């Protein structure tokens, strides 16, 4: 069976939504999926095997390597990306896959995502009594989002982290420079209307 490590699975006690199909097809015996997160919430209530800890502390503690690594919007939580890649490779079986879900911060992609959200809400109902107040709300949101994007661009240029838990503003360029640390990019998909990309990387 393929052994999957979900790096940064979050604090929910139930199965993460992006692996529920994996759970349904999982054999009765054997731990195919393991969640990993340093936030020790719901330690006794998880529906799946869980390790409360850091990725960097795993080498030397496991009896078997992993075949698949999932980074679901968690790669930007690692400050030292070279060390992260080195750690993953040390935990990987030959030819293992790393699958990344990353939110990019390129201005055009963020604008596409923000615009889609605003206009989806605006035109979600064509009833005049709903449309008119939403239109007025949109008139307020557009300049607010404009100044928010300006501030984000300033922070990116000065290297200011997103917050205390997010260390990187990934762009198309910086992500392309980072992923070869893990291995060879085999496939990349951009979800239209969002700033999300999914990338599959094959390790040596």
pLDDT digits (tens, 9 = 90+) for 85-108: 999 999 999 999 999 999 999 988
DSSP 8-state code for residue 16: P
Asked if the model's pLDDT at residue 12 lies above 90, the reply is no
For the entire predicted model, the pTM comes to 0.85
Q: What phi and psi values does residue 10 have, to the nearest 5 degrees?
A: 95, -170
Per-residue pLDDT tens for 182-201?
Answer: 999 999 999 988 999 999 99
Comparing 8 with 193, which gets the higher pLDDT?
8
Please report the DSSP string for 136-190 in residue order: HHHHHHHHHHHHHHHHHHHHHHHT--SSSS------HHHHHHHGGGT-EEEEEEE
- Band of pLDDT at residue 19, cut at 50, 70 and 90: confident
How confident is residue 28, by pLDDT bands cut at 50, 70 and 90? very low
CB-based contact 92:203 (threshold 8 Å): yes
Residue 31 confidence class, pLDDT cut points 50, 70, 90: low
């Amino acid at each position: 069976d393929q052994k999957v490590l979900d790096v940064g699975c979050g604090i929910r006690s139930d199965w993460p939504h992006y692996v529920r199909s994996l759970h349904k097809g999982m054999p009765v015996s054997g731990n195919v999926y393991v969640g990993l997160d340093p936030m020790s919430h719901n330690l006794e209530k998880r529906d799946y095997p869980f390790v409360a800890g850091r990725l960097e502390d795993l080498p030397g503690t496991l009896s078997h390597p992993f075949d698949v690594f999932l980074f679901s919007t968690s790669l930007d939580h690692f400050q030292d990306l070279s060390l992260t890649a080195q750690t993953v490779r040390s935990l990987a079986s030959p030819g293992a896959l790393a699958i990344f879900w990353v939110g990019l911060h390129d201005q055009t992609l963020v604008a596409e995502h923000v615009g889609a959200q605003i206009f989806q809400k605006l035109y979600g109902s064509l009833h005049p009594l709903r449309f008119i107040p939403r239109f007025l709300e949109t008139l307020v949101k557009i300049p607010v989002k404009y100044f928010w994007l300006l501030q984000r661009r300033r922070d990116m240029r000065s290297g200011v982290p997103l917050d205390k838990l997010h260390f990187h503003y990934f762009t198309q360029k910086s992500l392309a420079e980072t992923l070869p640390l893990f291995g060879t990019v085999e496939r990349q998909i951009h979800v239209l209307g969002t700033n999300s990309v999914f990338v599959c990387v094959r390790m040596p």
